[in-house]
Amino acid sequence: MPKPILFVTRRLPASIEALAVQDYDARLTPSDVAIDDLIARAEGADAILCCPGDVLDAKAIAALPASVKVIGTFSVGYDHVDVAAAKARGIKVCNTPDVLSVATAECAMLLIMGAARRAGEGERLVRSGKWQGWAPTQLLGTQVSDRRLGIFGMGRIGREIARMARGFNMEIHYRDMARLPVELEHGAIFHDNDDSFLPLCQVLSLNAPGSEGTRHWLNADRIAKLPPGAVVVNAARGTLVDDDALIAALRSGQIAAAGLDVYNNEPHLNPDYLTLENVMLLPHLGSATTETRDAMGRIVLSGIGAILAGQTPTNLVA
């Protein structure tokens, strides 16, 4: 029996590409960047393994060949795939849940520490050759230990951030649609409204999924409710942030510093961020560890295989 045809839109870790070749008639792509002819390359494929930068909206899904039965995304988020359009065509969608929470939480903590302690500015200063040595007032930042941390979106990643932040003796507050079971809170304080939540957030971490309901959640009105000099980080989805509002707050000092790993329209981030010293910018590194990317590849390939075999995998989105 011939192997099912799997079209892979981007380069994957070598071990995952080898697994794909082993289990599928794999059409690999030797590039890290999005390809222009995704629809044409999918001709005859039984499944597509895509990535967050591949926009599979309703128009793209309508244009997919009839052979496509599964879309697997190399990510836990799937807002780049129009799931309703896929479902209407009878195409199943699966993702990579559970395996990237720790890595992404580590990245969020890196952003918190880097932004609060002005690590990006310090690194640039040393590299520029202009550093003149230690000085009492040089690059004074904000202490993270014993601060109040607000987490917007207390899912698996948010809870991992809370676990790590307790090591810095941070007081954890969180905002979500519903309160967690007490055994998952570990002392974190739930808020069901912005007015009680935001004024407490000396550090605010955005960890909600991207959707129309959370689009530009961090806007000018909510920023105004943060305490002066707050630190904001985003390792979730760029769409959570109103860029113009955040940039204005960074310029005015209402927000002391920000750390961003994700962006609206990435990789084409708002160029005004590049003019600001008080923002730490990373190139979407949240899940970028060898262990995590291997685990992501294995779970999405397993999900694709199960769906093609008529089974229902645990990572089925719809």
> pLDDT tens digit string along 238-287?
999 999 999 999 999 999 999 999 999 999 999 999 999 999 999 999 99
Q: Which residue has the tokens 């609206």?
A: 264
Q: How much is the pLDDT for 188? A: 98
Provide the domain limits for residue 15.
5-99+289-308
CB atoms inside a 10 Å sphere around CB 224: 11
Mean pLDDT estimate for the chain: 96
Q: How much is the pLDDT for 211? A: 85
Q: How much is the pLDDT for 264? A: 96
- DSSP lists the bridge partners of residue 241 as 218
Confidence of residue 210 (pLDDT cuts 50, 70, 90): confident
Q: Which residues of 33-57 are buried (b: 16+ CB within 10 A; e: fewer)?
A: eeeeebbebbeebbbbbbbbebebe
User: What average pLDDT score do residues 50-66 get?
Assistant: 94
For residue 216, is pLDDT > 90? yes
Q: In terms of domains, do 169 and 226 share one?
A: yes
Is 313 within a domain?
A: no
For residue 186, is pLDDT > 80? yes
Contact 188, 173 (CB under 8 A): yes
Q: In terms of domains, do 239 and 167 share one?
A: yes
Alpha helices in the chain (DSSP H): 14-23, 38-41, 58-63, 83-88, 101-116, 119-128, 156-165, 182-185, 194-197, 220-225, 243-252, 290-308
**Active-site residue list:** 237, 266, 284
**Nearest-CA neighbor of 95 among 158, 160, 31, 51?**
51
For residue 162, is pLDDT > 90? yes
Task: Report the distance separating Cα 181 and Cα 192, nearest Å.
Answer: 15
User: What average pLDDT score do residues 177-200 get?
Assistant: 97
Q: How much is the pLDDT for 245? A: 98
Q: In terms of domains, do 256 and 294 share one?
A: no
Q: In terms of domains, do 36 and 129 share one?
A: no
For residue 163, is pLDDT > 80? yes
For residue 43, is pLDDT > 90? yes
Tokens of 172: 């954890």
Contact 59, 36 (CB under 8 A): no
Is 318 within a domain?
A: no
Q: How much is the pLDDT for 33? A: 76
* DSSP per-residue letters across 39-64: HHHTTT-SEEEE-TTS-B-HHHHHHS
Q: In terms of domains, do 268 and 124 share one?
A: yes
Cis (ω within 30 of 0) for the bond into 267? Answer: yes
The proportion of the chain whose per-residue pLDDT surpasses 90, expressed as a percent, equals 93
User: What average pLDDT score do residues 32-58 get?
Assistant: 90
* DSSP per-residue letters across 75-119: SS--TTB-HHHHHHTT-EEE---SSSHHHHHHHHHHHHHHHHTTH
Is 317 within a domain?
A: no
Task: Report the distance separating Cα 24 and Cα 7, nearest Å.
Answer: 9
Q: In terms of domains, do 10 and 67 share one?
A: yes
Confidence of residue 47 (pLDDT cuts 50, 70, 90): very high
SS3 call for 305: helix
Confidence of residue 36 (pLDDT cuts 50, 70, 90): confident
Task: Report the distance separating Cα 68 and Cα 167, nearest Å.
Answer: 47
How is residue 181 annotated by DSSP?
A: P
User: What average pLDDT score do residues 18-22 get?
Assistant: 97
Is 42 within a domain?
A: yes
Task: Report the distance separating Cα 153 and Cα 175, nearest Å.
Answer: 6
Q: In terms of domains, do 166 and 277 share one?
A: yes
- Pick the more confident residue, 210 or 304: 304
Tokens of 234: 């985003």
Is 145 within a domain?
A: yes
Q: How much is the pLDDT for 204? A: 98
- The total of structural domains in the chain comes to 2
Q: In terms of domains, do 82 and 209 share one?
A: no
For residue 203, is pLDDT > 90? yes
Confidence of residue 230 (pLDDT cuts 50, 70, 90): very high
Confidence of residue 105 (pLDDT cuts 50, 70, 90): very high
Of 24-38, 65-79, 139-153, least confident by mean pLDDT is 24-38
Q: In terms of domains, do 249 and 160 share one?
A: yes
Is 259 within a domain?
A: yes
Is 315 within a domain?
A: no
- Sequence-ordered list of residues with C-beta below 8 angstroms from that of 177, at least 6 positions apart, any chain: none
Q: In terms of domains, do 120 and 27 share one?
A: no
Q: In terms of domains, do 146 and 207 share one?
A: yes
How is residue 199 annotated by DSSP?
A: G
Residue 9's CATH number: 3.40.50.720
User: What average pLDDT score do residues 81-102 get?
Assistant: 96
Q: In terms of domains, do 178 and 239 share one?
A: yes
Is 271 within a domain?
A: yes
Q: Which residue has the tokens 């974190």?
A: 188
